[in-house]
Structure 1
Amino acid sequence: MTATVTRHAPPPDRFDRRLLSPMMLGAILNPINSSIIAVALVPIATSLGAPASETAWLVSALYLATSIGQPLIGRLVDTFGPRRLFLAGALLTTIAGVVGVLAPNLGFLIAARVILGFGTCAGYPAAMYLIRSEAKRTGMRSPAGVLTALSVTTQTIAVVGPTLGGLLIQVGGWRATFAVNIPLGAAALVLGLLFLPKTTALDTERPPRGRLDLLGIALFAATLVALLLFLMDIRMTTLWLLALAALLGAGFALWELRRPDPFIDVRVFAGNIPLLVTYARSVLAATVSYCYLYGFTQWLEGGRGLSPSGAGLVLLPTFGVGIVVASVFGRRPEIRWKLLLGSLTQVVMAVLLLLVGDGAPVFALLGIAVVIGIPQGLVNLAIQNTLYYQADPERIGASAGLLRTFMYLGAMLASSATGAFFGQRADTPGLHELAWFMLAAAGLFLLITVFDRSLRRVDREATGGGASETR
């Protein structure tokens, strides 16, 4: 049965709730896969006889593909609409799951993670596009409830990844962490076919389809690859990668300025400083969050001696508290206080990690997991809502994709820091060094939030107190 037969006219003054199931499922595919691998790295290394330096590519491969793919797919969503890109992504996710289950060696597993990275890119930009489209159709000024649901199903769900991964490994081995994408991808494909509209309320605002800016895409991808390779292995001998990234980035900016229909309109970002600050805030918040997600999880296994399933269970309160906090406060339209409280709590969490020792009781570890759940529920919700008001409506998909790119830049910084501070083993001294790094990032996040006066204007628009001045 086709989507045309099953769909009826949506209510004229309310969000079409039939969109929620494909939107939320599509949006979780990327964050759940970015974190589920955390507890699978050691079993994979043991099974395939691969060193940790090689299994680290299972993390980096998804980050590389996602960082490049998110703004690219977002731009395509802006150009062609969300339905086709969502369905293509769901199909790729299913294929990646099959490749991972059948992979005979590490190379095939890395390829599966690359396919997975590109396949899971469409869900979040498509969801943001649909929210903006429904807001225009219904006249909603602030779809806070839907944005809250999206936040809960993206960033907070990422924290349950290690818990889910530990349970899957216990039941079906490490290949189960890849196999789970087969039913998830298939379900997203079915829901997308049934419920995603072929046309949306934003079609009239969609820019005319021109030729894809292939050189711009290539320069952007090359810039990110060089930068992320440097972040994966920060040393004096790899500084040339940073210089190459700067050179390619400058070439990308110059080329985009000359294009009538660029891949990423750098003029928009140059004239929208508050949006750039939001992207910077996303990098810092993600750096702290992923240091916790990967660093603390590795220490629980290597330093504290817990099993993969035990480490995953310790992180479970973070997931629960994040959902509760986002659900309780998500419908409140104010944004600035959420960022302030979230960044301050990240500072507190980093200080608590400095006090952890080898024999730390489990209840103390659970307490830390509870504390980090507060910013997990507040920060990404607030950043997502800030972008909703700051981004150009005609480029909401690309802007949302770029937000994910900057988030994964923070994840790569966290990955590099974790590798540098832990070395051969995730011990307590390494955790303390990582905590100092997290404290610096959280402190900077707090400072730029305190002094960001544009957030007051965003609050006024979110609460209906005035027109936006941030565009």
Structure 2
Amino acid sequence: MSTTEAVPIEAGGPPEVRSSRRWTTAVTSLAAAMMTLDITVVNVALPRIGADLDASLDSLQWIVNAYTLSFAALLLTAGSVSDRIGRRRVFLAGVAVFTAASAVCALAPNTAVLIAARAAQGVGGAMAFGTALALIAGAFEGAPARSRTTAIGLFTAGGAVSAALGPLVGGSIVEWLSWPFLFAVNVPIGLLILAATARKVPESVATDAPANVDYAGAVLAVLALFALNYGLLAGSEKGWTTPDVLTALIGGGILAVAFAAVQWRLGPTAMLDLRLFAIPSFSGAVLLSFAARVFSFGLLPFLTLWLGGMLRLSPFQVGLVLLAQSVALVIAAPVSSLLTKVMSVSKVLALGSAVVGVGMFLAVGIGPHDSWTAVLPMLVLLGAGAGLTLPHLLALAVGVVPASRAGTASGAANSFFPLGTATGVAAFGIVLTNKVDTTMNAATLSRFPLPRGHAAQLRQLVTAGQFDALGAAVPEAARGQVLDLARSAYTGALSTIFLIAGIAGLLAAVASLVLVREKDNFEATQTASSSG
């Protein structure tokens, strides 16, 4: 078979091997879709959850962050441990924990139980997500590279489409059913995944992986990732000078340095073999994975607040607008596979990143009187760019490392997804806050007949996208002018965010061409370093 011919996902091997490949792809893709959906679907339900459970703002934030933080903290450790004790075993345990926690979420009588169950969901999600790619890599060992890339592309598409559909699905369920169904729907899906995995997916163990678990590395990795993600998420909400945020960021940095030192000392027996980063393509895949989440999830909260808060679209309508991104992604993903037949993967990744950058530039200049159609071209190009890049990023990270490190590579690459989200939210949050503070400064607001000392409160309402509450807080005589000022401040911030993201997209395209190379592999790096 020539390299230009299409390679089916089950290509090569006897019937039972082809069947296991199909089932492995199906269950991991379904798990990715289910677990990614839970990251975004809850946001639109927070007002209803708050009303039903009498939850404070801090509690509502933790309902979201508890899942994100536990998920992000355990991805790397779960992937590495699965190489040693069995990837299917860890995957099954993760899906079981996630399913049980989802049932508890649906039945939660108060916010304390819901937050604890959300944290447990994150643990299960990390165990399943962090091992899924390694399961695919093991199932497709010996198969044509293109068939493995297709399988990983389906896995990635499952998560990406779920992320884009989250607001639409969440809005529909909340509007026509009730918020507990957001979690209850995971139970039958989880049971289906468990049954199919137990019966149809073979165990995958790295026979040449180190026998001992790197406990010091595992603990340091969990603590460092938790602290860094917490600092970035909390800083964007509470301010960067609050004691807990500063402690988390400084402590997380120190723990990350300690983790790197331990991993360097242990060398090939470490949980994360740092020699993997000497492979330019692996480093490029990790960097681009980080950038991909900055562009998508990092932007999503501010875009959603503009659509729902300023334009007053319902949750369902917001989901419909964001559907443009997911439709473009679904169309572009198969095109991406076709393009690799006529150009290198590095050029396809560069093209996808450039498309994202151009899309962002098209939204620069958005104004206070623009409707949702002003961001439609950006959403389409953002989805198209994601469709071109995502099918290859994780395949690249797993494909250039030895089979014994597939779980580690999967966990490492996946760990940079939530870090990219947290970094994007934090960085763009700073841009928004600074723009609102500058535009709605005390001197400007003093020109309006406002109660003394209201300036800080009004700015907080704008950065939170609460334009209805802003209108209610301003006397009628000044309401129209203050709202116009607030809209200008918010859209001006969005325009700056799009400009920054556009420049970053073009830089990511350059990084793709420089770092991603066709013949990178771990063994070649070892040989070069030993001969030097």
Classify the TM-score, shorter chain: 0.7 to 0.9
Which of 379, 382, 389 aligns to 2:399? It is 389
For the Cα contact (< 8 Å) 1:39–1:165, is it kept in 2?
Answer: yes
Instruction: Give the Å deviation of 1:324.
Output: 1.0
Which residue of the partner structure matches residue 510 of structure 2?
450
Q: Which is worse superposed, 416-425 or 102-111?
A: 416-425
Task: Check 1:122–1:244 CA distance in 2 against 1; reply closer, same or farther (3 A cut).
Answer: closer
Q: Which amino acid is the alignment partner of residue 18 of structure 1?
A: W
Which residue of the partner structure matches residue 482 of structure 2?
none
* Superimposed CA distance per residue, residues 248-306 of structure 1 (whole angstroms, 9 cap, x where no aligned partner): 12222222333377552343245334423432222222111113322212221111101
Q: CA RMSD in A?
A: 2.9
Q: Which amino acid is the alignment partner of residue 218 of structure 2?
A: I
For the Cα contact (< 8 Å) 2:69–2:229, is it kept in 1?
Answer: yes
Q: Which amino acid is the alignment partner of residue 159 of structure 1?
A: A
Matches of 1:65 and 1:217 in 2, distance apart? 14
Which residue of the partner structure matches residue 3 of structure 1?
none
Matches of 2:19 and 2:197 in 1, distance apart? 20
Task: Check 1:332–1:78 CA distance in 2 against 1; reply closer, same or farther (3 A cut).
Answer: farther
Q: Which is worse superposed, 449-458 or 300-309?
A: 449-458
Q: Which is worse superposed, 88-97 or 425-434?
A: 425-434
Which of 91, 98, 120 aligns to 1:93? It is 98
Q: Which is worse superposed, 106-115 or 433-442?
A: 433-442
Which of 245, 248, 264 aligns to 2:252? It is 245
Task: Check 1:213–1:449 CA distance in 2 against 1; reply closer, same or farther (3 A cut).
Answer: same
Which residue of the partner structure matches residue 41 of structure 1?
46
Matches of 1:344 and 1:449 in 2, distance apart? 6
Which residue of the partner structure matches residue 115 of structure 2?
110
Are 1:413 and 2:420 matched, yes or no? no
Which residue of the partner structure matches residue 412 of structure 2?
402
Matches of 2:284 and 2:174 in 1, distance apart? 40
Which residue of the partner structure matches residue 481 of structure 2?
none
Task: Check 1:401–1:434 CA distance in 2 against 1; reply closer, same or farther (3 A cut).
Answer: farther
Are 1:256 and 2:256 matched, yes or no? no
What SS does the aligned partner of 1:233 have? helix
Q: Which is worse superposed, 426-435 or 109-118?
A: 426-435
Task: Check 1:443–1:383 CA distance in 2 against 1; reply closer, same or farther (3 A cut).
Answer: farther
Are 1:55 and 2:60 matched, yes or no? yes
Matches of 1:396 and 1:467 in 2, distance apart? 12
What SS does the aligned partner of 1:50 have? coil
What SS does the aligned partner of 2:296 have? helix
Q: Which is worse superposed, 72-81 or 383-392?
A: 383-392
The structure number with the bigger radius of gyration is 2
For the Cα contact (< 8 Å) 1:297–1:312, is it kept in 2?
Answer: no
Which residue of the partner structure matches residue 373 of structure 1?
383
Q: Which amino acid is the alignment partner of residue 134 of structure 1?
A: A
Which of 333, 347, 366 aligns to 2:357? It is 347
Matches of 2:517 and 2:429 in 1, distance apart? 40
Q: Which amino acid is the alignment partner of residue 275 of structure 2?
A: V
Are 1:213 and 2:209 matched, yes or no? no
Structure 1 gap ranges (5+): 1-7
Are 1:296 and 2:297 matched, yes or no? no
For the Cα contact (< 8 Å) 2:92–2:128, is it kept in 1?
Answer: no
For the Cα contact (< 8 Å) 2:131–2:410, is it kept in 1?
Answer: no
What SS does the aligned partner of 1:259 have? helix
Instruction: Give the Å deviation of 1:456.
Output: 5.4
* Superimposed CA distance per residue, residues 354-382 of structure 1 (whole angstroms, 9 cap, x where no aligned partner): 33344433444444432321122123223
Task: Check 1:119–1:12 CA distance in 2 against 1; reply closer, same or farther (3 A cut).
Answer: closer
Are 1:272 and 2:279 matched, yes or no? yes
What SS does the aligned partner of 1:355 have? coil
Matches of 1:34 and 1:273 in 2, distance apart? 31
Task: Check 1:229–1:17 CA distance in 2 against 1; reply closer, same or farther (3 A cut).
Answer: closer
Q: Matched residue pairs, number? A: 455
Which of 479, 493, 497 aligns to 1:433? It is 493
Q: Which amino acid is the alignment partner of residue 412 of structure 2?
A: L
* Superimposed CA distance per residue, residues 313-339 of structure 1 (whole angstroms, 9 cap, x where no aligned partner): 111121111111102223443322332
Are 1:361 and 2:348 matched, yes or no? no
Task: Check 1:189–1:11 CA distance in 2 against 1; reply closer, same or farther (3 A cut).
Answer: closer
Which residue of the partner structure matches residue 284 of structure 1?
291
Are 1:178 and 2:187 matched, yes or no? no
Q: Which amino acid is the alignment partner of residue 226 of structure 1?
A: A
Which residue of the partner structure matches residue 233 of structure 2?
232
For the Cα contact (< 8 Å) 1:38–1:297, is it kept in 2?
Answer: no
Task: Check 1:228–1:26 CA distance in 2 against 1; reply closer, same or farther (3 A cut).
Answer: same
What SS does the aligned partner of 1:290 have? coil
Matches of 2:353 and 2:228 in 1, distance apart? 26
Instruction: Give the Å deviation of 1:412.
Output: 1.0
Instruction: Give the Å deviation of 1:78.
Output: 1.0
Q: Which amino acid is the alignment partner of residue 301 of structure 2?
A: Y
Which residue of the partner structure matches residue 16 of structure 1?
21
For the Cα contact (< 8 Å) 2:28–2:132, is it kept in 1?
Answer: yes
Which residue of the partner structure matches residue 161 of structure 1?
166
Q: Which is worse superposed, 260-269 or 166-175?
A: 260-269
Are 1:74 and 2:74 matched, yes or no? no
Larger relative CO (CA 8 A, sep 6+): 1 or 2? 1
Q: Which is worse superposed, 135-144 or 239-248?
A: 135-144
Task: Check 1:141–1:229 CA distance in 2 against 1; reply closer, same or farther (3 A cut).
Answer: closer
Task: Check 1:214–1:224 CA distance in 2 against 1; reply closer, same or farther (3 A cut).
Answer: same
Q: Which is worse superposed, 39-48 or 186-195?
A: 39-48
Matches of 1:353 and 1:454 in 2, distance apart? 28
